[in-house]
Structure 1
Amino acid sequence: MTGKISCLIVDDEEPAHEVLKFLIAKVSWLTYAGSCYNALEALEMIPEVKPDIIFLDVNMPELSGLDLLNIVDASGSHVIMTTAYPEYAVDGFTFDVTSFLLKPIGFDRFLKAVTKVRKLIGNAAEKGRLEPEAPDLPQGDQPGPVQIPEQRADAGQEEYMWIRADRKMYCVWFKDIYFIEGLKDYVKVYYTNGVLVTLASMAAMMNRLPSPTFVRTHRSYIVNRNMIKMIEGNMVTMLNGLKVSIAVSPARDEVIRQLTER
């Protein structure tokens, strides 16, 4: 990609701004776009500046960073959450946050986070050059009953993810996950060491999992195809003996293809 990636800092503490500005200046393809010291300032500045990256602190007075994401349209920006409190990480996944940096922020973790954004922006630009833009659907049109998710742009860049459950943070390797079950506002992660229940949406989990290893077979299930023992009809039997469903819909054949292709 060409051009620099613009960065906006939203934090109520001046030392945090100084650290981030110092780190931004160390990377030649980043540029500092401004600072906000509370969420109210950011509500006005984000639509005006349209930054590529928002470094967003969570724990701010009046409106928190999560409150801000609930209000402002930041769809054109990649949010990198910064906080001294790791328990906020899972909440960030609900808002499709690109990365999470725990304070104090080291340069190695900072560079990894911004490099991820750079790759995502580059992938999006390349996709735009290679694929024609899809026409907008009329307001009355409705999508089919099951949507096959696109391949995640950052698939395979990491081999594990952190999951908060029971007031602890668990490092879970993707290869150890059997499947994930959706429970309204929560998900259950079935893996080799047991089951973890965490606050997250199925869509947010899909964005964190590598493709094509993980396939959404049903609105309530995401399956690790490397952990499948058998497929029979609309049921998938996992290596741990548990069974999950495949949605009965026109997309069923496509789901089967994703589960079995090599």
Structure 2
Amino acid sequence: MNCLIVDDNKIFRLLIKKLISLDTSLILVAECEDAIEAHQQIMENKIDLIFLDILMPGMSGLELAKILEDKPPLIIFTTSIAEHAVEAFSLNVVDFLLKPISASRFLKAIEKAKAIAIRNQNTQEVNFPEFIFIRDSNIVRRVKVIDILYFEAIGDYVKIQLVGNVDYSIHSSLKNIEHKLPQQFFLRIHRSFIISLSKIDGIEGKTLIIDKHLVPVSDSYRANLNKSMKFL
């Protein structure tokens, strides 16, 4: 799971970072000093889980959670103020951890987050269609999901590259598209690219080969890619 730490206290960020290292399935994408910076990270990157402090300058953790309500990512509040627990849980967060946080309590919250993520993914898989419809230059087109090689962010548009050297452009963000795709079939490997795992032909250094197309892999997403590929 891709994680984000949001806390204005550097010491607490360091402590949570050490706790994250206890579970190899957790990948720390970034750490932020305030909720505004965190919101920017969430818009630009695939974040599955946030460790979110509540009292911060500018925008509180509760305010950020309300902005993200009913949308990914999952949220675990990390705070020293127990009085906010009722309001926090009303936002349907995963858990509420009081500082100082013990390793056992932290890992228990992580297991809850994993269970929710699996349940959400299974629901998404059931509803995922064989075809998708896109609007390309005011023309509505039907695209077979199995024909998609990768998605590439280009400015305010996303290019959908298909087999047969066919591509379309739609006015959207890669972040928006990412949350509509099943993670067992599609994976973000770069801030500008989401690829179809079944279409990977090979890897050379930091480059994926997909149907003769060369797609870059960034270091921050390499661990996720390695876990998703089945090596003998």
TM-score with structure 2 setting the length: 0.52
Distance 1:27 1:72 in 2: 25
What does residue 102 of structure 1 align with?
Answer: 98
CA contact (8 A) 1:46 1:74 kept: no
Structure 1 unaligned regions, length at least 5: 135-262
Query: How far 1:128 sits from its partner (Å)?
Result: 3.5
What does residue 21 of structure 2 align with?
Answer: 25
Query: How far 1:28 sits from its partner (Å)?
Result: 1.2
Tell whether 2:12 aligns with 1:16: yes
1:67 to 54, 63, 71: 63
CA contact (8 A) 2:49 2:73 kept: yes
Tell whether 2:65 aligns with 1:55: no
1:79 to 55, 72, 75: 75
- Report 1:78-157 matches (<5 A): 78-129=74-125, 131-133=126-128
Query: How far 1:61 sits from its partner (Å)?
Result: 1.4
Distance 1:125 1:34 in 2: 23
Sequence identity (%): 38
Query: How far 1:20 sits from its partner (Å)?
Result: 0.8
Query: How far 1:107 sits from its partner (Å)?
Result: 0.5
**Which SS does the other structure have where 2:21 is aligned?**
helix
**How many pairs does the alignment contain?**
129
Distance 1:132 1:74 in 2: 17
TM-score with structure 1 setting the length: 0.46
Structure 2 unaligned regions, length at least 5: 130-232
CA contact (8 A) 2:69 2:91 kept: no
What does residue 208 of structure 1 align with?
Answer: none
Query: How far 1:127 sits from its partner (Å)?
Result: 3.3
- Judged with a 3 Å threshold, the aligned counterparts in structure 2 of structure 1 residues 74 and 46 are, in CA distance, closer, same or farther, namely farther
Larger Rg: 1
CA contact (8 A) 1:50 1:76 kept: no
